Amino acid sequence: MPTLSSRAGRATLALLMLTLSALAIVVASIPTPGRAADPVTVLTSDFEDGTGQSWARRGTVEVVENSTAVAHAGSRSLLTSGRTASWNGPSRDLLSTVTRGTRYTYSVWARAAAGAGSVQLRMSVERRWQGTASYEQVVNSTTVTDGGWTQLTGGYTLANDADFFAVYVETVSGTASFHIDDFSLSYLPPSPIQTDIPSLKTVFAGDFPIGAAVGRPQLLAERGQLLAKHFNSVTAGNAMKWDATEPTEGVFTYTDADAIVAFARANGMKVRGHTFVWHNQTPAWVFNDANGQPMTATAANKTLLLARLEAHIRAVGGRYADDVSAWDVVNEVIDENQSDGLRRSTWYTITGLDYIRTAFRVARQVAPNAKLFINDYNTNVAAKRDKLYNLVAQLKAEGVPIDGVGHQQHGNISWPTGAETDSMIATFIPLGVEQQITEMDTSIYTSSSESFTTPPADRLTSQAARYKAWFDVYRKYKANITSVTFWGLADDETWLDSYPVSRKDFPLLFDVQLQAKPAYWAVIGAASPTASGPASPSASAAPSPSASRSPSASPSASASPSPSPSPSASRSPSASPSPSASPSPSASASPSTGGCRVKYTVTNQWNTGFQADVVITNGGPAAVNGWALRWTFANGQVVNQSWSSTYAQSGANVTITNAAWNGAIAANGGTASFGFLSSWSGTNAKPATFTLNGATCVLG
């Protein structure tokens, strides 16, 4: 080793340190293969030392004390007794324990005190900022008894400014005494997002914007990066609802909605506004009469309710008039079990159809640049779909300014089928309305009694096929569909964790560590990289994805359980009416292309790989029906993924053939696009010549 006194030695040492630190950066950026990271526990409370371990009462009268009466483990627990209100209970300050933007798992064992029988408990957090308190549930109402211990587990991310932050346990109602024990607070270390996989928004650039419903946690750190990389539209999952924006009459709160809109602006994303009118998440005051009593159906109450509705839409819609491009003006107003198809919400019982008419009229005035939507779930169910159709037809005939129908598309691994989804869209086309997919997710469950803590491989495969079937339909109807939005960003946080029952669900394209799932690969029309390599025609010629792709792109083993190999194999038969019309190309029967143009753009390049997007334009007078685009790489590049196409490579010669749905290229300027990932080293020259079905194309 060089000594520090020698000049040359110092230089060598400096070089060595530089090399080591460069190495450290590289090592730090390489996630462990398979990275099934273990949770990190930051706090536990077992009460075995005989103290309250910093848990304290929330109120002023209840008693929070160490107890030897019962214990979940060991011999002690924490007992809360002498409660005089349901919110009384044990609380623990966590302000300096949690990191903003990190999602923690909160777990505690609970039990009713002897003789208390059965009690409903919940776990919540209280955060305060500059004197204003907010309360959010971490674990919904859970029944616990005095006969045994019950675990309450849930996740929460502190994403707002806070000068006070604490977790607490309370009863839903009543003042029963209860024990808690073995509290723990842990988090899963976040993985870096995969930066060199295709961005959804790029893959679908020619089709429709791709959106995600988010809260503030999804704007931060890795989740914010994932959101910005893949999505060009965003919906506030809760932040623009009535309970969030006007909790008290005339008092408007926009903190979270503003943060989401600011993120969208900064990242050039569209914003979908959700929602002005719903029967849920509407504060009780909205439906109270002038005396503070629940409204009955009188003329005075109808006037009052419509005035509140108008004031609300003027305020919220006006604030975001420059930002929101589509509003879900009314949400879930259909009930197919009513003969008139109208949900008997308080909105309806007090105002009839006028709340819908008023909402659209006011929204148009105050947000003239936004498209106005009626949004609902189960619109693939014929009875509901048809009732919705009738209502939209009636409202349009009346001149109500309604621009579109939003299909929530909350589904599961086996439902709805491609065929149902197809007729869902087709039904509304004669009305001349825009259509948007507004809340899509695919539960891995088909019954309320199932529960998994990690998703079984076959469920993920079915999920990929389900998404694929839906996207085949969306692409077929891209002229009618103006936006496609997922209800969430990644499986780490989904509303399905507590609906319809509390259990972990995995309904989205990215897993709990934000890595691409089989469903992601199916949606972009690429083979999912697996341990055995992609099942593409060139699998033997091409290196395995993990060998050729940059480290951060290698999916975790757990996330890629060999799903739908080739796009065509995974398509549900019901989806076939659409794209199967376009025949696959056959090299021998190549029609002449007479004037093709190819634009080849490297959109992203890193040290070992690159991503390219290719647009083929058919300038000739004849339509192309099925195509194969060929080129020769000059510098040893090897394609290892493609989307919106199938690839094959033999030596330096690459052949890309159309996907099932983009085989037809219209005459006189029609286009087809696809993209691919490839390895490279040294030089990455663009191919000099392209042929389409044998005919040479013009570049650029």
Please give the residue ranges that form the binding site for ligand XIL (CB under 6 A): 237-238, 331, 408, 439, 495
Minimum Å gap between C-beta 91 and ligand XIL is 23
Minimum Å gap between C-beta 124 and ligand XIL is 13
Minimum Å gap between C-beta 496 and ligand XIL is 9
Tell me phi and psi for residue 73, to 5 degrees: -140, 155
> DSSP labels for 394-406?
HHHHHT----EEE
Annotated catalytic residue 439: yes
Minimum Å gap between C-beta 408 and ligand XIL is 6
Can you tell me the distance from the alpha carbon of 351 to that of 356, in angstroms, rounded to the nearest whole number?
A: 9
**What is the rounded (10 degree) CA torsion for 35, 38, 43, 46?**
170
User: Quick one: the chain helix, strand, coil %, rounded to 5?
Assistant: 25, 30, 45
Can you tell me the distance from the alpha carbon of 8 to that of 35, in angstroms, rounded to the nearest whole number?
A: 41
Contact 581, 590 (CB under 8 A): no
Nearer to ligand XIL, 55 or 347 (CB): 347
- Among candidate residues 62, 328, 376, 497, the one labeled active-site is 376
Nearer to ligand XIL, 64 or 316 (CB): 316
CB closest to ligand XIL, residue no:
495
Can you tell me the distance from the alpha carbon of 194 to that of 326, in angstroms, rounded to the nearest whole number?
A: 30
Can you tell me the distance from the alpha carbon of 496 to that of 487, in angstroms, rounded to the nearest whole number?
A: 10
Annotated catalytic residue 258: no
Nearer to ligand XIL, 408 or 463 (CB): 408
Q: Where are the beta strands (DSSP E) in 219-260?
A: 233-236
From the number of C-beta atoms within 10 Å of its C-beta (0-12, 13-18, 19+), residue 347 rates as buried
Can you tell me the distance from the alpha carbon of 393 to that of 374, in angstroms, rounded to the nearest whole number?
A: 12
Minimum Å gap between C-beta 273 and ligand XIL is 12
What is the CB neighbour count within 10 angstroms for residue 11? Answer: 11
Nearer to ligand XIL, 137 or 390 (CB): 137
For helices 382-398 and 354-366, give the axis angle rounded to 10 degrees.
60
Structure tokens at 467: 């998404």
Nearer to ligand XIL, 204 or 373 (CB): 373
Minimum Å gap between C-beta 263 and ligand XIL is 18
- Three-class DSSP category at 570: helix
Contact 625, 582 (CB under 8 A): yes
Minimum Å gap between C-beta 438 and ligand XIL is 8
Minimum Å gap between C-beta 88 and ligand XIL is 25
From the number of C-beta atoms within 10 Å of its C-beta (0-12, 13-18, 19+), residue 170 rates as buried
Nearer to ligand XIL, 94 or 496 (CB): 496
| Residue 253 Ramachandran class (φ > 0 left, ψ -120 to 50 alpha, else beta) | beta
Annotated catalytic residue 376: yes
Contact 371, 403 (CB under 8 A): yes
- Among candidate residues 439, 491, 497, 511, the one labeled active-site is 439
Can you tell me the distance from the alpha carbon of 123 to that of 140, in angstroms, rounded to the nearest whole number?
A: 7
CA angle 489, 494, 496 (to 5 degrees): 140
Contact 567, 666 (CB under 8 A): no
Nearer to ligand XIL, 88 or 408 (CB): 408
Residue with tokens 């190495």: 23
Contact 239, 256 (CB under 8 A): yes
Nearer to ligand XIL, 406 or 567 (CB): 406
Minimum Å gap between C-beta 599 and ligand XIL is 40
Q: How many residues does the chain have?
A: 700
Minimum Å gap between C-beta 328 and ligand XIL is 7
Beta pairing class for 410-412 and 434-443: parallel
- Among candidate residues 332, 434, 511, 613, the one labeled active-site is 332
Residue with tokens 């087709």: 426
Minimum Å gap between C-beta 282 and ligand XIL is 11
Residues 6 or more apart in contact with residue 438 via CB below 8 angstroms: 235, 272, 274, 328, 373, 375, 406, 407, 408, 409, 483, 485
**Sign (positive or negative) of CA dihedral 664, 667, 671, 676:** positive
Least Cα distance to 240 among 213, 279, 274 occurs for 274
Contact 658, 626 (CB under 8 A): yes
Contact 138, 124 (CB under 8 A): yes
Can you tell me the distance from the alpha carbon of 296 to that of 346, in angstroms, rounded to the nearest whole number?
A: 9
Nearer to ligand XIL, 64 or 239 (CB): 239
- Catalytic sites, residue numbers: 332, 376, 439
